[in-house]
Amino acid sequence: MSAYTIKHVTRYTYAAEVIDGANQIMLYPLADDRLEVERHEVCVSHDSGVRPDTVIDTYTDAFGNTVGTFTVLPPHTVLVIESNAAVTPRPILFPMDEQPAEEQWRDLRSRQQDAAFIDFLVQEDFPSLPDLKTTLNQLVDYAEKPLKNALVLSEYVFDHFDYRQGVTNVETPAEEIWRLKAGVCQDFAHMLLAMLRLVGVPARYVSGYVCPKDEGVRGTGATHAWVEAYIPFYGWLGVDPTNNCIVNDGHVRLAIGRNFQDCTPVKGTYKGIGTHRLTVSVNIESNQADHAEQPTLAPAPAYEVPDPEQPVNSYQRYMELLLRQQQEQQQQ
């Protein structure tokens, strides 16, 4: 059983001073029987002349996630959010999957109107949906059990979608992902969610980290995303289509929800110019005692997401409109 230290740094650099920042973070590892959180702290810093301690308030949302909120009121051009955690993931118990396929599908049908599952069965509508359904008709075999079909769909996404950075973003719709057949972990998870829900398997989005034990693992260096499918008579089971595997003790969960919007690691608003640069780095190191068998993982490289020139934000438009109105009144 491996233990890990995880350092996650999010840095916003603004083109000019901004004020009145209100931020939400979902950077708290989900402690349960699958994960022991030995230590975790979040530190917020900025370059304003005023340096009071930034207070982070937390609450638990409807999905059981810990959510932090904080504000940065003084003018600043840099905002840094640093999360440090020491965690020990535990191996899962795999489904015995003993019940007949017909009985398992019947169980899933009985949950279609269950309030605990409705959110995770909502089917997404987009123009290429008929094409997706045709593909599902070729892949899904209801004579097989839901778990077998979930793994077939994960393998399809893994085999038919190129893992390529820079072609999508967190707001890319399902239509474009399906057309491109390319993207990164959140796109792979997005498509598997759509597929599972269309065939009647409740599925939820998961944000977290992947802790690589082997070379070639996709999703290091940033937060990762995968899917949890509901397996009858077992419960929620993680499936990672980006790496085509069942989630075990190499994944650390931060948040679960209906989609990415429910699990966004960091988001917020502020007053000021829209142009900014976001830099995220995630460094995961193994604390395994036997380094001969489990070497310390090399630090993952930082990546940058350039934010192109944004339209003038609503607050600035309001101030410009107010100024024009004052100028017109003075001329009258």
Query: What pLDDT is recorded for position 220?
Result: 84
Query: What pLDDT is recorded for position 228?
Result: 98
Output phi, psi for 143, to 5 deg. Answer: -75, -20
Which residues, given as ranges, of the chain have pLDDT below 50?
Answer: 289-316
Query: What pLDDT is recorded for position 204?
Result: 98
For 282, the 3-state DSSP assignment is strand
Reported as a single tens digit per residue, the pLDDT across 131-182 is 999 999 999 999 999 999 999 999 999 999 999 988 998 889 999 999 999 9
Domains within the chain, CATH numbers bracketed? 4-89+264-316 (2.60.40.2250), 101-248 (3.10.620.30)
Closest C-alpha to 232, from 141, 104, 116 = 104
Query: What pLDDT is recorded for position 222?
Result: 85
Reported as a single tens digit per residue, the pLDDT across 306-319 is 444 444 444 445 55
Residue 284 CA, distance from chain mean position: 17
Query: What pLDDT is recorded for position 321?
Result: 64
Query: What pLDDT is recorded for position 164?
Result: 93
- Rounded Cα distance, 5 and 287, in Å: 7
CA–CA–CA angle 305, 307, 312 (5° rounding): 160
CA–CA–CA angle 150, 156, 160 (5° rounding): 155
* Burial of residue 154 (number of CB atoms within 10 Å: 0-12, 13-18, 19+): buried
Q: Contact at 8 Å (CB) between 101 and 144?
A: yes
Closest C-alpha to 72, from 13, 26, 18, 14 = 18
